[in-house]
Amino acid sequence: MILNVDELKFMYRNKGILDEIAFSINEGEIVAILGPNGVGKTTLLKCLNRILVPKQGVVSVCGDMIDSLELMEIARRIGYVPQRVETGRLTGFDAVLLGRRPHIGWDVSEKDLRIVESAFRTFGINHLRLHYIDEMSGGELQMIAIARAFVQEPKILLLDEPTSALDLKNQIEILHRINSIVEEHNIAVVMTMHDLNTALRYADRFILLKDQSIHICGDRSVITADEIEAVYGVPVMIGELAGVTCVIPQCLCNGNGKKKKIPTDEEGSTYVRNS
Amino acid sequence: MHFADGELPEDYLKYTHRKVIWILGGIGVLFLLLILSISVGAVSIPPYEVFMTLIGQNVTDKWDRIIWNIRLPQALAAIICGAGLAVAGVAMQSILRNPLASPFTLGISNAGAFGAAVAIIFLGTGRMTSTTAGAVIINNPYLTTISAFVFCMLATIAIIAIAKIKASSPEVVILAGVALSSLFTAGVMFLQYFSDDAQLAAVVHWTFGDVGRAGWSEVIFMGIIVIIACIYFIANRWNYNAMDAGDETAKGLGVNVERLRNVGMIVAALVTAVLVSFLGVIGFVGLVCPHMTRRIIGDEQRYLIPGSIVMGGVLLLASDTVARLIVAPYVLPVAILTAFMGAPIFIYLLLRGYHR
């Protein structure tokens, strides 16, 4: 058990955001946090490495309570990739080298440079080393941000929507790289996600948030059509396509693919369960 | 270790060496400029003799006196002031995530001027004895500095609070700076209206920022403060890099962003306060130098901070040398020249947009 969360509660001003959150994560696991917009996925992620300080509850990493650790020590154990990173007139290499910050004393050592060099090769982004990051595409920037978190050499990696800015090819590429590095180095990954299909394909365990707390938590078997509808309020179908589990919203189309007139229920929602 | 098998990145090292060469070149230029600046003036002294005098050889007693008592302190004051304003500017731009931030545009310089005026008029710390240059006597420079510093801090606190409330909007912070500037300018005018002739002359003369009024004790005091500030910002260069990548990234890298912001603003305000209270308001150096440096060596703080420091020294020393010569035999206060130079560059930055 590498990360343990118990009785976590977070309030923003007087508004409760998270309540009674408890789960634990083991080495080598990829955990997806799922749930609708605004349910507190990002907040939960930020509570795990003390970017936000929870109102109450315990988070422990590798057996140490997180509020007993120095910020730098937390950064040596947990890496974090936010949804959005700022750019500037610096090269990709500079940007990734920044990930060595928690390990740097007065200045970078040869070892730091070697680690960053190797990260560029591992991620297959060698061509970006001397590109300025303010001229990069969203996908390239995301690759740089994730590479930065990896050279931090953390035990746990927190990713906030790692694939939302990426096209299909980049999504797959990044998640494959994350997957292989998790296997090779036995670290744990916690990521928030919107795309249920990508989550189902790459994550080992799932945490579904609803109404400030964990609705359900577990492996692939907990992801059922009923649970997804309960969390997202949208009826879905789950099936298999060539052995891969797929989730799609129940269709508002009729058989030949043409849109029907979108019906509404009594609450005004456009989604109505197909009878 | 995840990635232990990497090689040394030759191309990247070459890229960073180029930046180091730019900075070393700047230091070389600064040194040559120092000799040139000392050699020109009402009495011109050949550069070689200047160099000999500076390394301790006694060429003639007259030149010795001119160099050691008049020209060297003025040249050093220009370098120290330029370096200090530039480092304060580069730090403020990073802290407020705003390319237009600098001690002058945020109204901090004018707040210092107001503080100094309060000290001169109410506490009687300065008056003007005659109309020749250097006739403003600040009897009690430390009290004047403290008063200037207090008002610099008030302006700084206001800016930090406004930046916190309206974090996402660069315009708001700059417009707040404009508002603070006019508020303190109005305050100075109010004080001037009720002051006597000698005080009025002292306040007016004082606000023309001029590096010529510093003697050795002021130069040493400013030098110590500026060096401490430069060391502080250079020591935190990695943290500023992290903050430039976004607050959340910085926190994820173990940087205490709030503390870095507050301490950084206080150090920058302290430097501004000391420089303003000894030398008066010298505008635009803190804004322009970091941007010139960004153009040459990029936004990476490891090189941007030292580069800006050198650039500030070079720019203000060059400006002061030109100001001393341009309407000879009169000596123009350097602030007038920097304003002429800085305003067009400021407008250019506004037109080019907020991208750093």
Phi, psi of B272 (to 5 degrees): -60, -45
Q: Name the domain count of chain B.
A: 1
How many other CB atoms sit within 10 Å of the CB of residue A14?
A: 5
Is residue B131's pLDDT more than 50? no
Which DSSP state fits B123?
S
How many other CB atoms sit within 10 Å of the CB of residue B158?
A: 19
Based on the fold, state whether residues A116 and A245 are members of the same structural domain.
no
Based on the fold, state whether residues A120 and A243 are members of the same structural domain.
no
Summarize pLDDT for B280-301 with one digit per residue, the tens. Answer: 888 888 988 998 898 888 899 9
Residue B356's pLDDT band (boundaries 50, 70, 90)? very low
Sign of CA dihedral A197, A199, A203, A204: negative
Inter-residue contact B304 to B114 (CB < 8 Å): no
Is residue B355's pLDDT more than 60? no
In percent, the amount of chain B with pLDDT more than 90 equals 34
pLDDT of residue B309: 96
Closest among A198, A194, A182, A96 to A142, alpha carbons compared: A96
Closest partner residue to B246 (CB to CB) among A49, A86, A110 is: A86
Based on the fold, state whether residues A266 and A193 are members of the same structural domain.
no
pLDDT of residue B132: 46
Binary contact (B298, A145; C-beta < 8 A): no
Is omega for the bond preceding B329 within 30 degrees of 0, making it cis? yes
Mean pLDDT estimate for chain B: 85
Is residue B128's pLDDT more than 60? no
Closest among A181, A196, A174 to A36, alpha carbons compared: A196
- Run of H or E including A231: helix A225-232
Summarize pLDDT for B58-70 with one digit per residue, the tens. Answer: 778 888 888 888 8
Q: Strands A56-61 and A244-249: what pairing? A: unpaired
Residue B334's pLDDT band (boundaries 50, 70, 90)? confident
**Angle between helix B72-95 and helix B285-297 axes, rounded to 10 deg:** 70
* B247: its two tokens: 């607050």
Is residue A266's pLDDT more than 50? yes
Looking from the CA of B53 toward its CB, the CA atoms found within 13 Å total 23
Residue B22's pLDDT band (boundaries 50, 70, 90)? very high
What SS3 class is residue A64? strand
Which residues, at least 6 apart from B116, have a Cβ–Cβ distance to it below 8 Å? B144, B147, B148, B203, B206, B276, B277
Which residues, at least 6 apart from B305, have a Cβ–Cβ distance to it below 8 Å? B87, B90, B91, B230, B233, B234, B237, B240
What mean pLDDT do residues B34-38 have? 94
In percent, the amount of chain A with pLDDT more than 90 equals 32
Is residue B89's pLDDT more than 90? yes
Query: Could you tell me if B231 lies within 8 Å of chain A, comparing CB atoms?
Result: no
Distance from CA of B294 to the nearest CA of A (A): 8
* A131: its two tokens: 């590109």
What mean pLDDT do residues B71-84 have? 94
Residue with tokens 């799922």: A34
- Residues B116 and B120: their CA atoms lie apart, in Å, by 6
Residue B293 with chain A: CB contacts under 8 Å: none
ipTM (interface predicted TM): 0.85
Structural domain boundaries, residue B252: 14-352
- Residues A157 and A27: their CA atoms lie apart, in Å, by 11
What mean pLDDT do residues A228-251 have? 86
**If you average pLDDT over each of A188-202, B91-105, B152-166, which comes out highest?**
A188-202
Based on the fold, state whether residues A98 and A197 are members of the same structural domain.
yes
Is residue A191's pLDDT more than 60? yes
Residue B12 with chain A: CB contacts under 8 Å: 91, 93, 113, 117, 129-130
Residue A273's pLDDT band (boundaries 50, 70, 90)? low
Which residues, at least 6 apart from B108, have a Cβ–Cβ distance to it below 8 Å? B152, B155, B156, B159, B180, B269, B272, B273, B276
Distance from CA of A224 to the nearest CA of B (A): 34
Is residue B197's pLDDT more than 60? yes
Q: Does a structural domain hold residue B4?
A: no
Q: Does a structural domain hold residue B8?
A: no
Give the end of a domain, one of A199, A216, A233.
A233
pLDDT of residue B252: 92
CA angle, A244 as apex, A83 and A184 as ends, to 5°?
60
Query: Could you tell me if B2 lies within 8 Å of chain A, comparing CB atoms?
Result: yes
Residue A252's pLDDT band (boundaries 50, 70, 90)? low
Name the residue with higher pLDDT: A82 or B144: A82
* Interface A-B: count of C-beta contacts within 8 A: 138
Amino acid letter, B22:
W
Closest partner residue to B300 (CB to CB) among A90, A134, A149 is: A90
Closest among A79, A94, A92 to A185, alpha carbons compared: A79
Binary contact (A101, B242; C-beta < 8 A): yes
Based on the fold, state whether residues A121 and A248 are members of the same structural domain.
no
CA angle, B294 as apex, B154 and B271 as ends, to 5°?
30
Amino acid letter, B39:
S
Based on the fold, state whether residues A177 and A68 are members of the same structural domain.
yes
List of long-range contacts for B176-180, beta carbons under 8 Å, 24+ apart: B176/B106, B176/B107, B177/B101, B177/B105, B177/B106, B177/B107, B178/B105, B178/B107, B179/B107, B180/B106, B180/B107, B180/B108, B180/B110, B180/B111, B180/B155
Select from B93, B251, B292 the residue whose CB has the most chain A CBs within 10 Å, as the one to mutate to test that interface.
Answer: B251
What mean pLDDT do residues B239-267 have? 90
pLDDT of residue B1: 45
Binary contact (B2, A79; C-beta < 8 A): no
- Residues A174 and B245: their CA atoms lie apart, in Å, by 21
Residue A275's pLDDT band (boundaries 50, 70, 90)? very low
Closest partner residue to A102 (CB to CB) among B235, B248, B254 is: B254
Which residues, at least 6 apart from B157, have a Cβ–Cβ distance to it below 8 Å? none
Is residue A18's pLDDT more than 50? yes
Is residue B239's pLDDT more than 90? yes
Based on the fold, state whether residues A189 and A267 are members of the same structural domain.
no
Quick one: closest CA in A to B234, which residue?
A106
What residues of chain B, 310 to 329, have a C-beta less than 8 Å from chain A?
A: none
Inter-residue contact B325 to B43 (CB < 8 Å): no
Inter-residue contact A166 to A174 (CB < 8 Å): yes
pLDDT of residue B88: 95
Phi, psi of B105 (to 5 degrees): -70, -25
Based on the fold, state whether residues A203 and A264 are members of the same structural domain.
no
Binary contact (A93, B294; C-beta < 8 A): no
Mean pLDDT estimate for chain A: 86
pLDDT of residue A107: 85
Based on the fold, state whether residues A133 and A152 are members of the same structural domain.
yes
- Residues B65 and B69: their CA atoms lie apart, in Å, by 5
Based on the fold, state whether residues A45 and A96 are members of the same structural domain.
yes
List, as one string, the DSSP characters of B275-316: HHHHH-B--SHHHHHHHHHHHHH-S-HHHHHHHHHHHHHHHH
Query: Could you tell me if B18 lies within 8 Å of chain A, comparing CB atoms?
Result: no
Centroid of chain to Cα A207: 11
What residues of chain B, 95 to 114, have a C-beta less than 8 Å from chain A?
A: 97
* A39: its two tokens: 């349910």
What mean pLDDT do residues A10-19 have? 87
Is residue A256's pLDDT more than 60? no
What mean pLDDT do residues B45-63 have? 86
Inter-residue contact A144 to A128 (CB < 8 Å): yes
Instruction: Specify the CATH number for the domain of residue B279.
Output: 1.10.3470.10
Which residues, at least 6 apart from B110, have a Cβ–Cβ distance to it below 8 Å? B104, B155, B180, B181, B184, B185, B188, B281
Which of A212-226, B158-172, B222-236, B336-350 is least confident?
B158-172
Distance from CA of B173 to the nearest CA of A (A): 19
Q: Name the domain count of chain A.
A: 2
Based on the fold, state whether residues A35 and A52 are members of the same structural domain.
yes
Is residue B170's pLDDT more than 80? no
Distance from CA of B301 to the nearest CA of A (A): 9
What mean pLDDT do residues A123-152 have? 89
Based on the fold, state whether residues A177 and A51 are members of the same structural domain.
yes
Residue A106 with chain B: CB contacts under 8 Å: 235
pLDDT of residue B133: 46
pLDDT of residue B169: 64
Name the residue with higher pLDDT: A254 or B24: B24
pLDDT of residue A169: 86
Structural domain boundaries, residue A38: 3-233
Instruction: Specify the CATH number for the domain of residue A30.
Output: 3.40.50.300
Q: Does a structural domain hold residue B1?
A: no
Inter-residue contact B45 to B66 (CB < 8 Å): yes
pLDDT of residue B167: 62
Quick one: closest CA in A to B239, which residue?
A101
pLDDT of residue B74: 92
